[in-house]
Structure 1
Amino acid sequence: MFKNILVCLAFISVVACGAKPRVLLQEGELNLKPTLQHEIIAKEVVGILENYSYKKVSANDSISNIVFDNLIKTLDEGKNYFLQSDIDEFQKFRNNISQDMRNGDLSSAFYVFNRYNQRALQSLEYALTQVDVAHEFNNEETYVNYRDKLAWFSSEEELNDQWRKRVKFDLLNLKLTSPAGKDESEKHKETIKKRYNNLISQAKQTNSNDAFQLIMAAFTNAIDPHTTYYNPSFAQRFNEDMSNTLEGIGARLQMENEMVTIKEIIAGGPAFKDKTLKIDDRIIGVAQGNGEFEDIVGWRLDAAVAKIKGPKGTVVRLKVLPAGQDLSVQPTIIKLTREKIVIEEESAQKTIKTVKGEDGKSYKIGVITLPKFYIDFEAYRKRDPNYKSTTRDVKLILDTLKQEKVDAVVLDLRNNGGGSLQEAIELTGLFIEKGPVVQVKDTRNQIEVHRDEDSSVAWTGPFGVIINRYSASASEIFAGAIQDYGRGIILGSSSYGKGTVQSAVDMSRFISPTNKLRLRASGEEDPTTPNGAPQFGQINVTVAKFYRINGSSTQHKGVDPDIIFPTQFSAEKYGESSEPAALPWDQIKSTSYAQINDLSAIKKQLGSKHEARMKTSEEYKFLKEDIEEFNKAMNTTSKISLNEEALKKERDTNKLKNRNRLNKILELHNMPIWKEGEPQPKVEFDFILEESLNVMLDFINLKK
């Protein structure tokens, strides 16, 4: 039933859903309501998770408690909107939310969402009234931006005072950036007004699909942090992200002053080839083929994008106001044929680094940076011989590196949240001969061993893999297999610890013919649904756990490197072990495999050499200081002074500290120091990578 297997790390915003009886909105509140489609999908999602997911958790009162907390935390984690009286009122929904969802009842969830939107609009509109108020910048007052450790506001007066302070901080922040002796107060007021008006405009455009997306994420996150429902627009974006391709005109769009604005033109796409569209051009109308133009001024961005994007080979016409031109200018009509565009900047990339050894000899090390494990599922299923995939791209890079006669290869998987399980297996196969790569245990506790069946090896030389706390899932499968086979050295910090497998399922497979007829009869039509997107959205549901070939799960524990670097991201606050609903760690039998190398002795020698370098490394000292500062900031509630002199002094102190620190790094690398009044120099120095290259140089020599 589940075909598209995914193993990817997703950081999803979560919110909660509601309780019986159906709640009537109070007068004055935004009256967003769930649609019939939302109610049908909610029932089906609950059924899928109760019957098909790996955990099969019942939607009971204990789950409702978690969903309720997800709701409050996601909507207002910083405690900048809700009052204590709101939280007290919502308690009546706490114990029944998940049961209500099983029946398709979303009324109380929407009630909470509407109250949040009401408070947000109320706060933003109050903030606007404070922009022209005379603020005193020489009295002693502080502002707390992130109030998660503080109590909820006890009254609207207290809430308003928080937003008064926020406006005061915004104005003071801009004032401190003005040239000395120049009064730009009116300019700053206009900047702040524009900022808050944009936020108000966005809040007013919030629709029931936005609420429903968050509500469903609240429920799925209570069951499992990696099971997620995506509405049609989100589903299409997720699938494009997985394939590293998209179909459209090849431009990144942003909403500015109620108009869709071109912010980037993607190389190789239709807009790039046509050369007519420019950065900051504004699209005010869209027509499909030779059809009539639709005016899209004031539309939500996702609704406008749904009209502009579309299947390759189709034609779209755009009515465009050129950048910098007045609104009264005659619009330009641009005709483009949509294409499939490959997003190259998110694909595997290579660099070659030269490292000098103690013997004075220079060594070349190829570095492959891999942001994610991607595959174009659609092209693969259609047997397109040129389908886009991680393994194919890395294979070409390795062929190039061999021609360049590099001495070693390093694969950088830092911040790689995973992706396709198939690609994790096939990529491992580039570095080993035939053999098992990962074990997968399904909902029936049956274990399947996934193997590399291709005996060819693309790289046989010294190999290293860099990971960190945000290397997850498919990254962990790959790193774990390389470590178990003794095929290379793992460097960095412990990985995320996501050992679960998700399957992407089109929700239309679960919607009965009767319900489809009901929906058709209701006349519902979602204007934000892009062409080709799944009509009812998609659920990525956890259906299995994966295990290393040595039998150990990476769930919670992750992969521990051979050469360990310190990190500010602790297991208690970051990664799978910090997720309340995460599956536990366990272990199964090891599968039969032949280790390629026993690197245990070499790893000890590499560790000793690495530690010796760290004792005298200034960069290592800076790294540890950064971690200490980060942890200190994360464990305290930061109070910002609203006294101009005090805040300026604090910023000047920090600026001097940063300059002195940067100059030490510049001196270490024989670069000109940064002087007062000069623009800050751009320093591209990656200590973790540089030291990893030193470790690889040791590895090369020890292997000899």
Structure 2
Amino acid sequence: MKIRYLLLSALLLLLGLLPVLASVREVPSEELQPSRSQRQSTLIILKVINEYHYKKQLLDDEMSRAILNRYLGVLDPNRSFFTQGDIDRFNVVSDQLDDDLKDARLDSAFNIFRVYRQRVDERVGYALKLLDRDYDFTINESYQFNREDAPWTADAAELNELWRKKVKSDILNLKLKEKPLDEIRDTLEKRYTGIQRRTRQMDTDDVFQVFINSYTLSLEPHTSYMSPRVSENFDISMRLSLEGIGAVLSSENEYTVVQRTVAGGPAALSGQVGAGDRIVGVGQGADGEIEDVIGWRLQDVVDLIRGAKGTTVRLQLLPEDEGSAGRTKQVTLVRNQIKLEDQAARKFIITDLGGIGNLRIGVIDVPAFYRDFQGYSQGQEDFTSTTRDVRRLINELETEGVDGIVIDLRGNGGGSLVEATELTGLFIPSGPVVQVKNASGDLDIERDPDPEQVYNGPLAVLVDRHSASASEIFAGAIQDYHRGIIIGEPTFGKGTVQTLVDLGRFVRYGDKNLGRLRLTMAQFFRVNGGSTQFKGVVPDIVYPSAVQSDDQGERSLENSLPWAKIAAVNYQVEGLGPLERYRQMHQLRIKEDPGFIYLSQVEAMLKEIKAEETVSLLEKDREIEWNQREQRRKAEKNRFLTAIGLDPEPDDVDEEAERAERADPAADRDDPVARIMLNEAAHILADYIGGQTRSAMVN
């Protein structure tokens, strides 16, 4: 399992909100010393974690080694700056960091960072000299671009050879994009010196935050420290009402990676930015220069992309389905305020699907669990609410005579727990919905607050690997009550609860501005006693695209809390009945279904790409690889389109027209690829309705 160093910004903030962490000046090495307030913060953080963190983890020598490994991994994730000799020297303190933390001694962490800064200076200086060389791209050699799990280089000579190949690969990447040599050298000089400049701008707060988070993230992935400056910027960001482009990011080796887009945000509405895409360049305005951001710190990339509502930003993306040396695309986005109404649930009816006869299947797409807490607190009767909207849509669908309803939660990353609980209540008579267990072992049970069952007809819930948190609470409750059929892929597996702790509240006198700790303090459990954590919700009928589910979501994160089980609560199971018959009907249907064949081929291609760790430095081979991958992708897509009676995609696709079409929230109703999973969910629900009808006739 590959390590993902998910920093706080990747877990909390929307792209376009978080400002840069580092100071704007280069910080002299002698200033990189731990401060008194940082030592005080260390003691408080350890106390808070020891008393209130959900996971009880000893801070011992084993944890000390994990902290050191993670710290080195955050500083040098691709193992391209430190040598094995450096690591051997650092390992002298590998069993000492636990005691250092307990005594608030931070000198070892700062000493390691100063060595790191020196190594960055050395490597950048060497890389700049390499740019002046002439390279022969007819030599058969390769470059290992993914060194996350590779051994550290033995010495400076081996590191020099690694950087020779890296620079050669970087030049070839840009050469294949038809950049002139002078422009290539200028781009790479800015890239390399930018790494050096940003490293030199990191101050004591930045170093402290990286080190402390190496400890917190060794506990589990969702506990993180925010320095005083980051805490202040976080508050400012939240007051901006989610103004930006609406994407959540993380760092992965040299790349800034899109974790997910936010429903209603410019990135999601464009239809051109998706989970797994890598941002390699950013440009301001309609024609501003694209600034290369490979190798940038996550916070700096976010700072470059953020901006005022109504302004334009251009992203150069390396799509998920392209290899590290693949072709990029450019996306133009207009920054905007992400409003609750932009995330509103919507409905439509499937009536013309072969194999369902005259049945009318209603679909309610729920992109997020949104709630206007301010409107609610002010006593507004019509405050915006997922449950309120879905209740209205159910009534409209029933008036229009649907035979069953599919709740589509694909891509729904969660939101309000209150809404997840109340939405579940629309489909069950009454009862508990989810259990919440805190670090002390105390249980709170969230219950359906309304005894009215708004809809009691045939129900299916469609989920995928990106359905998380509140989505998992809803889907899990519907499954436990046997109220509906859960269909799709195993969900994300985010079953923990976080809170922000102001460290200053533990200080009686002196400076109380010590930053905040995002703390995992509770875990969700379903009414059947099983957790939504780690495993997520496993559908009753699992789609074949779930074969890579172990590489997705919480299961792919190191140190994730494991699945657990507590006692079930009393709840009344509905009469859904056995589903094996419908599972078999589904499997027979998709065996020859062009859509699922296409999805399986796409998954296979993605798996191949993710498994790649090296790239050829032969220009002709690199070009062949590009062309073959593009031809294969297009051929598979066109085979699918032809099989369902549609015209294949033209070679000269109008990107602007496609972008305008995808900006329409209803566009995916007619998108044949987006409809593959949804149509099969409608088929499964139709099978169930037919089976129930036949059973009633027999009785």
TM-score, reference length from structure 2: 0.74
Paired position in structure 1 for 2:72 = 72
Structure 1: gaps (5+ residues): 1-9, 16-26, 255-263, 269-277, 283-298, 310-315, 324-338, 520-534
Identity of aligned residues (%): 32
- The verdict on how the C-alpha distance between 1:647 and 1:594 changes in structure 2, with shifts beyond 3 A counting, is same
Matches for 1:53-132 after TM superposition, within 5 Å: 53-132=53-132
Q: 70-79 vs 611-620, which deviates more?
A: 70-79
Question: Do 2:594 and 2:644's aligned partners in 1 also have CA atoms closer than 8 Å?
Answer: no
Please tell me whether Structure 1 or Structure 2 has the larger radius of gyration of its CA atoms: 1
CA deviation vs aligned residue, 1:412-463 (integer Å, no higher than 9, x gap): 3334444443332122123223211112233333333221121234443332
Matches for 1:245-324 after TM superposition, within 5 Å: 246-247=239-240, 250=243, 279=285
**Selected match of 1:363 from 360, 364, 367:** 360
CA positional deviation for 1:374: 4.4
Q: 381-390 vs 582-591, which deviates more?
A: 381-390
CA positional deviation for 1:514: 1.4
Paired position in structure 1 for 2:594 = 618
CA positional deviation for 1:190: 3.5
**Selected match of 1:218 from 206, 214, 221:** 214
CA positional deviation for 1:346: 5.2
Paired position in structure 2 for 1:499 = 495
Q: Which amino acid aligns with 1:100?
A: D
Question: Do residues 696 (structure 1) and 671 (structure 2) align?
Answer: no
CA deviation vs aligned residue, 1:311-348 (integer Å, no higher than 9, x gap): xxxxx9x9x9999xxxxxxxxxxxxxxx9862655554
Q: Which amino acid aligns with 1:207?
A: D
Paired position in structure 1 for 2:467 = 471
**Selected match of 1:665 from 640, 643, 647:** 640
Paired position in structure 1 for 2:613 = 638
Q: Which amino acid aligns with 1:145?
A: F
Q: Which amino acid aligns with 1:665?
A: F
Counterpart Cα distance in 1 of 2:96 and 2:431: 49
- The verdict on how the C-alpha distance between 1:509 and 1:406 changes in structure 2, with shifts beyond 3 A counting, is farther
Question: Do residues 429 (structure 1) and 425 (structure 2) align?
Answer: yes
Paired position in structure 1 for 2:296 = none
Question: Do 2:412 and 2:466's aligned partners in 1 also have CA atoms closer than 8 Å?
Answer: yes
Paired position in structure 2 for 1:329 = none
CA positional deviation for 1:470: 3.9
Q: Which amino acid aligns with 2:565?
A: Q
CA positional deviation for 1:126: 3.3
Question: Do residues 599 (structure 1) and 576 (structure 2) align?
Answer: yes
CA positional deviation for 1:646: 1.9
CA positional deviation for 1:627: 3.5
CA positional deviation for 1:356: 2.1
**Selected match of 1:13 from 7, 16, 32:** 7
SS of alignment partner, residue 240 of structure 2: strand
CA positional deviation for 1:140: 1.4
Paired position in structure 2 for 1:685 = 673
Q: Which amino acid aligns with 1:60?
A: D
CA deviation vs aligned residue, 1:3-43 (integer Å, no higher than 9, x gap): xxxxxxx982399xxxxxxxxxxx99585344443332222
CA positional deviation for 1:50: 0.7
- The verdict on how the C-alpha distance between 1:212 and 1:398 changes in structure 2, with shifts beyond 3 A counting, is farther
Aligned length: 596
- The verdict on how the C-alpha distance between 1:580 and 1:675 changes in structure 2, with shifts beyond 3 A counting, is closer
CA positional deviation for 1:490: 0.5
Matches for 1:152-171 after TM superposition, within 5 Å: 152-171=152-171
- The verdict on how the C-alpha distance between 1:388 and 1:589 changes in structure 2, with shifts beyond 3 A counting, is same
- The verdict on how the C-alpha distance between 1:230 and 1:353 changes in structure 2, with shifts beyond 3 A counting, is farther
Structure 2: gaps (5+ residues): 10-26, 248-261, 267-283, 289-298, 315-335, 659-670, 694-699
CA positional deviation for 1:481: 0.5
TM-score, reference length from structure 1: 0.73
CA deviation vs aligned residue, 1:635-677 (integer Å, no higher than 9, x gap): 5x53211111222222222222222212202212333324667
Counterpart Cα distance in 2 of 1:547 and 1:267: 31
- The verdict on how the C-alpha distance between 1:321 and 1:612 changes in structure 2, with shifts beyond 3 A counting, is closer
Counterpart Cα distance in 2 of 1:364 and 1:439: 32
Q: Which amino acid aligns with 2:169?
A: F
- The verdict on how the C-alpha distance between 1:380 and 1:41 changes in structure 2, with shifts beyond 3 A counting, is farther
- The verdict on how the C-alpha distance between 1:576 and 1:459 changes in structure 2, with shifts beyond 3 A counting, is same
CA positional deviation for 1:91: 0.7
Counterpart Cα distance in 1 of 2:602 and 2:546: 8
Counterpart Cα distance in 1 of 2:431 and 2:418: 14
SS of alignment partner, residue 531 of structure 2: coil
**Structure with the higher fraction of residues in helix conformation:** 2
CA positional deviation for 1:562: 0.7
Matches for 1:397-476 after TM superposition, within 5 Å: 397-398=393-394, 401-402=397-398, 406-476=402-472
CA RMSD of aligned residues (A): 4.2
Question: Do 1:415 and 1:471's aligned partners in 2 also have CA atoms closer than 8 Å?
Answer: yes
Counterpart Cα distance in 1 of 2:463 and 2:5: 18
Question: Do 2:598 and 2:637's aligned partners in 1 also have CA atoms closer than 8 Å?
Answer: no
Question: Do residues 588 (structure 1) and 585 (structure 2) align?
Answer: no
**Selected match of 2:628 from 653, 656, 659:** 653
Question: Do 1:472 and 1:495's aligned partners in 2 also have CA atoms closer than 8 Å?
Answer: yes
SS of alignment partner, residue 445 of structure 2: strand
Q: Which amino acid aligns with 1:97?
A: L
SS of alignment partner, residue 687 of structure 2: helix
Question: Do 1:246 and 1:340's aligned partners in 2 also have CA atoms closer than 8 Å?
Answer: no
Counterpart Cα distance in 2 of 1:468 and 1:267: 20
CA deviation vs aligned residue, 1:162-209 (integer Å, no higher than 9, x gap): 23322322222232233xxxx833343334344445444444433333
Q: Which amino acid aligns with 1:600?
A: G
CA positional deviation for 1:483: 0.6
**Selected match of 1:555 from 533, 540, 550:** 533
Counterpart Cα distance in 2 of 1:304 and 1:626: 32
Counterpart Cα distance in 2 of 1:673 and 1:42: 60
CA deviation vs aligned residue, 1:561-592 (integer Å, no higher than 9, x gap): 11111346656544445555444444333211
Question: Do 1:130 and 1:167's aligned partners in 2 also have CA atoms closer than 8 Å?
Answer: yes
Counterpart Cα distance in 1 of 2:630 and 2:83: 37
Q: Which amino acid aligns with 2:601?
A: E
Q: Which amino acid aligns with 2:365?
A: I
Question: Do 1:357 and 1:697's aligned partners in 2 also have CA atoms closer than 8 Å?
Answer: no
Paired position in structure 2 for 1:260 = none
Question: Do 2:525 and 2:532's aligned partners in 1 also have CA atoms closer than 8 Å?
Answer: yes
Paired position in structure 1 for 2:14 = none
CA positional deviation for 1:495: 2.6
Counterpart Cα distance in 1 of 2:357 and 2:116: 65
Question: Do 2:245 and 2:265's aligned partners in 1 also have CA atoms closer than 8 Å?
Answer: no
Question: Do 1:465 and 1:488's aligned partners in 2 also have CA atoms closer than 8 Å?
Answer: yes
